[in-house]
Structure 1
């Protein structure tokens, strides 16, 4: 039979022209490979073609299911956008709320993909970490922190159970395997098609190790892989494999691992050379991520040591985070998130053209706004494109790993040298946390008292268990504290470890963890208090919070059953309690289309609803906590990165100039946003006769002026406290309250006036950086300082150049600027060196500080250090 006849036969069976050609090409390629290997026979050809046909049939079933899931998610999101418009807001507001959340005041404004990802991840790792802490009464977790060989044993036990004889390693391997299987099952329920693999472990690939040595390094990697891989399993489905064919295929795997592309996430971001056009199917890509199968556990461990990074816990957390990212996208936007999003945007364009209530000018303006928000393709532009890039993980995958590593290390060094005193600025967390309590129903005095008390409260009586079930006490183990202040998480392991030590030694780690855990526990109890009330019986602030997170009355009726009494006698709302909900509890949430569905279909949907309640509840608690303890989220990072990737000129530029700006940007987005200063819910505004006003106008007329006034006064008080602490550790007197500049500077120190507030009256911002450093980033400021010293040397100003060079070296030296070490170093060494370089410099420094800031030293250095150096 000729090829065209084969194609016609396949088309007659129901395939399209393109599908028929692809199928025939696959079958002919299999026949050619059998012929080349000398194994072509009717029996072998029949077996190969039968297996291919069965695989294609299965894929058709999977694809039909994905199409149905995509349509359901599309309709859900379209209905949500319509509801946002009905509340007086724009379609773009709805899309932002759907993707990264928005601070405007409408139902579902915070029920985003971004929040869901965080909720899923915390829902997975919180119970997992609790189980890990229980293994060996805590001994296993200690070994995981200290012993590489213990990590190796866990790795081997996951691959080959019982191979090491280490009971603790075996127990942890079972925990890890169980959570990996849980995430796989939930991804498949959302539309993925990931097969179960016995003895599988997550594997990180270090692109820097892979690329070391250039072309020789690539050949070295292939030579390393050949004797260790199970070639038949690795390249299953491509026909018979000989050595030459295996090496050819491994070259393709090598490219995938080194070009900075994540095969688990949507979109082809290689910048060219791809045959893929249009948005890729995320669910389809999920089944293609496990490509390397080793012959045994020892071979897999050897590969991890040679070309991997981190340890088995690092690999687990990274894998679960990527799974959470993918699951959140698919649960909200379907198996093909980008396609759903593009379809929603097209729908809004058409709706605008058909809207008879708008003028042609307004239609044109809104249509242009939507068009500018998203431009698909290799180079994406617009706000929606930037949000999608953050959600998909595109902005974390390096194009040029070497350039990305250099940039990450340089930024990490700035973190190590600049943020040693950040814990002193963190004192302002207390009043921001109190403001969040005020919005959610507390009085200002009560909120302030509880906010401060949370830093000193104990976690006995079952409180720690409740807090962990709500996602608290995870940051230290994950090492996420670095990401709170800056985007330097891409630095190599040693630098990242140093950053963790810096924040732990400075006290920022403790302050942040206690603040987050305290607020999370308070919010859990705050919701637990009203577990006995229906939605209409809730007070307005609590009802408003639930509405922002998309909780409707019928959903609350089920959620309020997710509360339990702890050992301290108090009732707490906990996401993990969703596991105890019965099918009868969940039946009211079944979609109408499934009320009469077969029992097995209903059972699957009820399981999905149970998971949804758990994930959404955890997302709500985590998102509200991030309003109280400010951290950058995807919306913040989208502004900071502008959709760029590390390892590109644009990507490194934006990451450099945006370093240390995450806090003020997040502060303006969350704390200064409209929702923070409007108490009550939308229904309350309706009762005040504001039904027909746009959302923004209703907010203006129901604004919480008492809360806003309390916030301003608190910001001044805590700003002054932070400023005073900084002055004291520098040996300076507190600023006089008699000067109006002190009051304004105090307000600015709290972060209340945004990124520019720190510089209106002061020389440096809350992190100790100059205006130039904040404007162009610390790396740009450092480049300017180097240039200035170079100019001094050219002009022959050697004394000034030496003094400025010393100051520059000190200000950029890691760990020197810890708030409690800098003063000791100044008195023991640096003051003396400065006097030796330029006699009288300490006295000049004191006069300058008196003139510019109206301050004096508590212990003037010139009084104790003689001119030219040495103590008097």
Structure 2
């Protein structure tokens, strides 16, 4: 009796479904085609039937296990939603991103996908033990090893390259991906037994689209004819018949160019069989160089693949293997609860201000799962993203000046809130950035804290993830500019120093029972839902001894879930120390619209540079607002405003100096009002309070539209007025517009020289009345801010040093 007849009888007897029968028959036929060359027809039929039965049995077990995992995840998620003090919507949001209402103690757990993704990714990169570091870009992104990195691929295909660095990276990659696959399966992910996890494949639709379909088909057919690749039949789960190969390759070309192909760099796992299975490294390298990641993309692709794995593992472990369906059901329950709970306008306003509405939850989900990053139109995304990249390179060159005082104060606030001595954090930062950089990286690697710099260097600084878009030409210009300013080194160093001090503090607190803990640290545990019993399970973990100090070994915690929750909590608190947008803010800044759509790019351009103040509001300001009792709210708010006003004052004075002006008189009420606004992250808006334009030269309407569209609107308006005879095309106007689009024009260490030697000279050459123009500018700054110039506009060299006494009214 044939297997087809057997399956028909089993369906008739209702022992299996028709879908299961179809899958089994397709698998049998695919296996039979693979086995036929080595066996006779009868033997191949029997062998493939047995193998199909075994595979189907294993698949059935996996489906049962996945169903059980799904039921558990759904029940746990629903329980957290129902226990959240602010309702099911806030409870569901807390599963996706840090709960800004801090209801973790009531819910019993505060772990979420956004933070857990970073935690798991750090674990994966930590397992690589720094083996990918030799291939990261250097010299502020200007230099990268794009040749020997391919030796990793050769080693993974079994070639002996003699390259010890590549051997270490290949061994680390194999160990790490095997761990990731096993962990995904433990979470209920059903993966194809035929999947090849050796290396990610990334077929770039732009690169493929540069070539004709016939050239693509010819290249792949040549590789196939030479035995360098196998072409698989997804329907049959095996090798495709020779006659079907050409058609499969042609269809692959269409899928890739239309953006339908699944690329390993964008997702961590796939239970779909790959169409192309490379048999040797040379073939893989040839095709990836021409049609995929290009010459310099392998390092970023490997990091991106691990990051994708980390994100999916986190999603699986929190919402189960069928997470899309689960989220949809839970969101519907949240909407129903929100409709009942928030009927009044006041209640709706409150939940919208805290960004905990059902619509906000949907945006966060799309952000945390990567949907908002999926490009709908490469052309539209390229125009919008390129414009934002140029604006980043042109306008964020002095971000380090604001970050130094601002981050120092937020890191101190976050440290003290959790019981950590702020002076210890800043002392470690100085030490790590000066005399102990290598030692700091080694210790950080041991305690899962080193991966941040790896991710940042490979994919662009996370802190400016919404500003630096992609790794095209404009993306590289923006990324390199930001690195040259030193902002990446500062940010990475402070993140690491803060987390390491917290880690060391936990190791010291492990000597005490729950009731005897430092009150601030005990508050940290309660906020994130840790009980006294769970603390007992955590504190028995033997510490690590390194750099003359003890550190808590999160990898040594016996209970993996407890370890993950603790690490996720540390990451959450670190985001108070170094402000960076999370999935909630990224979703809001995009309005839930995808990249590559007209409205999506317009919204992203309008909200460019505005994620920092929003993040500040959702972290420090929200934490002050939810303190128990009015006195605690007032105390926390006053402390926050006071410290950040001082940070704003320092920033204002530093920005004056790098712009060639004397410090402002700190005895002025206007100065401290401006400092208070700057301290909250509203730097450009602060300028609008005291003048008709921002320091970028934009008015209020242009500011609302965003720097890119604003600059275009401003330039177009000037040209139209000039054409109508209502405005003269002056050197000042031209210099301002050029500066708005010149990468590196605002870099803090070169800003004043660039302004005076380049842009002022352009104005001088074109504007016949340039002396009066510069004089008017000096008078306005004197009138509005009481400042003179130590390097006067239009002068090739400074005439004197800064008048520091002006800061105290002398």
Kept in 2, the 8 Å contact 1:640–1:658? The answer is: yes
Residues 9-408 of structure 1 aligned to structure 2 (within 5 Å) = 9-15=9-15, 18-19=18-19, 22-23=22-23, 26=26, 44-84=44-84, 88-107=85-104, 110-130=110-130, 146-162=144-160, 164-194=161-191, 195=193, 200-213=198-211, 215=213, 219=217, 222-223=220-221, 226-227=224-225, 230-231=229-230, 237-238=236-237, 241-260=240-259, 263=262, 286-288=270-272, 290-309=274-293, 310-345=296-331, 382-408=359-385
Match of 2:605 in 1: 656
Q: Distance in 1 between matches of 2:235 and 2:469?
A: 34
Distance in 2 (alpha carbons) for counterparts of 1:312 and 1:491:
15
Deviations 1:434-475 (A, max 9, x none): 111222135xxx63x445434423475965533333444444
CA distance in 2, matches of 1:312, 1:559: 38
Any conservation in 1 of the 2:593–2:600 contact (CA below 8 Å)?
Answer: yes
Q: Distance in 2 between matches of 1:837 and 1:361?
A: 62
Name 1:743's counterpart in structure 2.
672
Residue 468 and residue 621 in structure 1: after superposition, are their counterparts in 2 closer, same or farther (change >3 A)? Answer: farther
* Offset, 1:804: 1.4
* CA distance in 2 between partners of 1:155 and 1:722 (Å): 47
Give CA deviations for 1:726-780 in whole Å, capped at 9, x if unaligned.
1101111222223211111001111266985563335666988654443111121
Per-residue deviation, residues 219-254 of structure 1 (Å, max 9, x unmatched): 566556644653355758356634441222234434
Sort the Cα spacing of 1:124 and 1:755 in 2 relative to 1 into closer, same or farther, 3 A. Answer: farther
- 2:572 match: 623
Query: Residue 440 in 1 paired to residue 418 in 2?
Result: yes
Change (3 A) 1:492 1:199: closer
Residue in structure 1 matched with residue 790 of structure 2 by the alignment:
858
In the other structure, the counterpart of 1:709 is 638
**Is residue 710 of structure 2 the alignment partner of residue 781 of structure 1?**
yes
Alpha carbon RMSD of aligned pairs, Å? Answer: 4.0
**8 Å Cα contact 1:210-1:221 kept in structure 2:** no
Change (3 A) 1:321 1:420: same
Q: SS in structure 2 opposite 1:231?
A: strand
State the alpha-carbon separation in 1 of the partners of residues 453 and 336 from structure 2: 49
Name the SS for the 2:509 alignment partner: coil
- 1:92-116: per-residue Cα shift (whole Å, max 9, x none)? 1100111112211322674211110
Preserved contact between residue 26 and residue 235 of structure 2 (Cα < 8 Å): no
* Change in 2 beyond 3 A, CA 1:861/1:204: same
Match of 2:407 among 411, 423, 429: 429
The TM-score, its normalising length taken from structure 2, stands at 0.85
> Is contact 1:763–1:770 with CA below 8 Å preserved after alignment?
yes
Q: How do 1:533-552 residues align onto structure 2 when only pairs under 5 Å count?
A: 533-552=512-531
CA distance in 2, matches of 1:361, 1:800: 56
Say whether the 8 Å CA contact 1:729–1:820 is kept in structure 2: yes
> How far apart in 2 are the matches of 1:360 and 1:403?
38
Distance 2:392 2:309 in 1: 29
- C-alpha distance in 2, partners of 1:492/1:741? 42
Please, what TM-score do these two structures have when normalized by structure 1? 0.79
Cα offset, 1:521, TM superposition: 1.7
Query: Structure 1 stretch 244-253 or stretch 93-102: which is displaced more?
Result: 244-253
Distance in 2, matches of 1:773 and 1:470, equals 46
User: Structure 1 residues 12 and 569, CA, compared in 2 at 3 Å: closer, same or farther?
Assistant: same
Measured against aligned partners, the alpha-carbon deviations of 1:845-869 in whole angstroms (never above 9, x if no partner) come to 2223333443221243367799xxx
**Distance apart, 1:156 and its partner CA:** 0.5
Q: How many residues align?
A: 772
Instruction: Tell me if the contact between 1:114 and 1:634 (Cα under 8 Å) persists in the aligned partners.
Output: yes
Cα 1:853–1:98 change in 2 (3 A) is same
Given that 2:367 and 2:586 are in contact with CA atoms closer than 8 Å, whether structure 1 keeps it comes out as: yes
Which residue among 805, 808, 812 is the counterpart of 2:741? 812
What is aligned with 1:530?
509
Alpha-carbon separation, structure 1, partners of 2:547 and 2:23:
65
Return the offset for 1:6. Answer: 7.5
> Does the CA contact (< 8 Å) of 2:467 and 2:609 recur in 1?
no
Per mean C-alpha deviation after superposition, the further-off stretch among 723-732 and 735-744 is 735-744
CA offsets 1:44-89 (integer angstroms, 9 cap, x no match): 55555554444333322211111011011111112222322xxx32
Is the 2:439–2:547 Cα contact (8 Å) retained in structure 1?
yes
Supply the distance in 2 between the matched residues of 1:499 and 1:360 (Cα, whole angstroms): 43
Measured at CA, do residues 817 and 141 of structure 1 come closer, stay the same or move farther in structure 2, by a change above 3 Å? closer
Q: Secondary structure at the match of 1:626?
A: helix
Deviations 1:548-573 (A, max 9, x none): 33323222212223352534543322
Contact 2:398-2:748 within 8 A present in 1 as well: yes
CA distance in 1, matches of 2:485, 2:462: 16
* Structure 1: 5+ residue stretches without partners: 270-281, 376-380, 582-608, 679-695, 867-872
Partner residue in 2 for 1:516: 495
Aligned counterparts of 1:826 and 1:504: Cα–Cα separation in 2? 21
Q: Is the 8 A contact 2:718 2:727 kept in 1?
A: no
Provide the C-alpha distance between the structure 1 equivalents of 2:359 and 2:255, rounded to a whole number of angstroms.
27
Secondary structure, counterpart of 1:503 in structure 2: helix
CA gap 1:488/1:861 in 2 versus in 1, 3 angstroms: closer
Quickly say closer, same or farther: Cα 1:11–1:746, change in 2 above 3 A. same
CA contact (8 A) 1:425 1:767 kept: no
CA displacement, residues 325-366 of structure 1 (integer Å, 9 cap, x when unaligned): 11001000110112222333455678899xxxx89978xx99
Q: Supply the distance in 2 between the matched residues of 1:504 and 1:8 (Cα, whole angstroms).
A: 64
Equivalent residue for 1:566, pick from 522, 538, 545: 545
User: How far apart, in 2, do the equivalents of 1:359 and 1:751 lie?
Assistant: 32
| Residue 689 (structure 1) aligns with | none
Aligned mates of 1:139, 1:780 — CA distance in 2: 37
Change over 3 Å in CA distance of 1:255–1:737 after alignment to 2: same
**Contact 2:180-2:309 within 8 A present in 1 as well:** yes
Of 557-566 and 736-745, deviating more is 557-566
Please say which of residues 762-771 and 815-824 is displaced more in the overlay.
Answer: 762-771
Contact 2:155 2:166 in 1 (8 A): yes
**CA–CA distance in 2 between the matches of 1:232 and 1:212?**
23
> More displaced, 747-756 or 529-538?
747-756
Are residues 402 and 89 of structure 1, via their aligned partners in 2, closer, same or farther at CA, if it must alter by over 3 Å? same
